[in-house]
Copies of this chain bind each other. A is one copy, B any other.
Amino acid sequence: MSVNLAILGAHGAVGQEMLKVLAERNFPVNDLKLLGSARGAGAEILYGTRKITVEQVSDDSFKGVDIVLSALSSDLTRTYTPMAVESGAVVIDNSSAYRMDKDVPLVVPEINPGDAALHKGIIANPNCTTIITLVAVNAINRFSPIVRMIASTYQAVSGAGKEGPEELREQMGNYLAGNALENRVFKHQIVDNLIPHIDNFTENGYTAEEMKMVNESRKILHSPDMMVSCTCVRVPVMRSHSVSVMIETREDVSVEQAKELLRNAPGVELADDISAGIYPMPIHSSDKDTVFVGRVRKDISGSNGLNIWCCGDQVRKGAATNAVQIAELLVNERRAASC
């Protein structure tokens, strides 16, 4: 069973990583279309031994396509997703455009794979920080439901696309040379700085990025009453997002129980041996698909709480890998249906 696949936004950081992940995971690709804006059209990209020319996306780009992996901005996604669905494709969309629509499943395959089957043409890929945090706490949530979660994030510059790491690298050079710094991607300098502002501010004083953690977490975990607050901060790290998270569970979960759950949790690598100086760090999780989890300890400020520190590659598990895993769910579903 081979799939006719299209990648929308093939030129971006996530689009490029999707190609890498598809090849690594031997995804059963039959036809592969690479689609992009007028600016990117005409470029040639290698996929294994195939040389594929990027086509400018149009309303007839999706004929015969089974699955579209879309890595566009929310605005562009709202233009092209309906065309693709109309043509009969299933769109796995990495933007935030459709995530909270009640007809659109929001899926992390380690957590709620069953939701994927409920799609009506669109499956949304969650926010990167939300994916990483939820993969880290999922096994504990299954053991005893999380009733409250307070997260502070340490988000890499890769979250701003290809240009984020380029800007940090350029600023590092100019910083060392004592030159003026130029901010194009970020509102403020990011070298030697932290920016507590990702995405736009909303009415309650939280940013849209912070509210994604609140709302998407509830949807993915099927926990509409879970209480969540979040502070999102951009840090001068290239690629892995990290999160300091406090979770309160309905029943008390001991540190040993939590570690045992994490040891067996899908998509998780427990990195927690403080006596040996082992804990998750961005340098460990970058270019990996697993979420590294550690510093597991009782929250000493309340009851039934655990403090956890986790790191995950934002471009991979936080975006490209999760999307490809959703595509794999669709393939497996078709395989099962054709048996």
A→B interface (CB under 8 Å): 148-150, 152, 154, 169, 172-173, 175-176, 187-189, 192-197, 201, 204-206, 214, 227-229, 231, 233, 235-238, 242, 244, 246, 255, 274-275, 277, 279-283, 294-302, 305, 307, 309, 311
Contact = CB atoms under 8 A, between A and B. Distances in A.
Kindly list the 10 A-B residue pairs having the minimum CB-CB distance in the complex, ordered from nearest: A205-B297, A152-B152, A152-B244, A229-B301, A227-B301, A231-B244, A201-B274, A196-B309, A193-B283, A229-B299
A192 B188 CA distance: 18
A297 B244 contact: no
Nearest to A169: B176
A205 B172 contact: no
Contacts of A279: 196-197
Given A201-B275, A205-B298, 4 more contacts: A192-B283, A206-B300, A214-B300, A244-B244
23 contacts: A148-B301, A148-B302, A150-B299, A150-B301, A152-B244, A154-B235, A169-B176, A172-B172, A187-B277, A192-B236, A196-B281, A196-B294, A197-B274, A197-B277, A197-B279, A201-B275, A205-B296, A206-B300, A227-B301, A229-B299, A229-B307, A231-B309, A236-B237
B283 A188 contact: yes
B233 A236 contact: no
Copies of this chain, tallied across the complex: 2
Contacts of A192: 236-238, 282-283
A195 B274 CA distance: 12
A234 to B, nearest CB: 10
Contacts of A205: 255, 274, 295-298
Main secondary structure of the interface of A (DSSP, over half): mixed
**From A152, A295, A297, residue with most partner B Cβ within 10 Å:** A152
A204 B154 contact: no
Contacts of A233: 154, 242, 244, 309
Nearest to A226: B301
B298 A194 contact: no
Contacts of A274: 197, 201, 205
B188 A281 contact: yes
A242 B154 CA distance: 12
A147 to B, nearest CB: 9
Nearest to A238: B192
B309 A204 contact: no
Nearest to A277: B187
A235 B194 contact: yes
B298 A204 contact: yes
A214 B307 CA distance: 14
A229 B246 contact: yes
Nearest to A231: B244
Nearest to A227: B301
Contacts of A152: 152, 231, 244
A314 to B, nearest CB: 13
A173 B175 CA distance: 10
A228 B295 contact: no
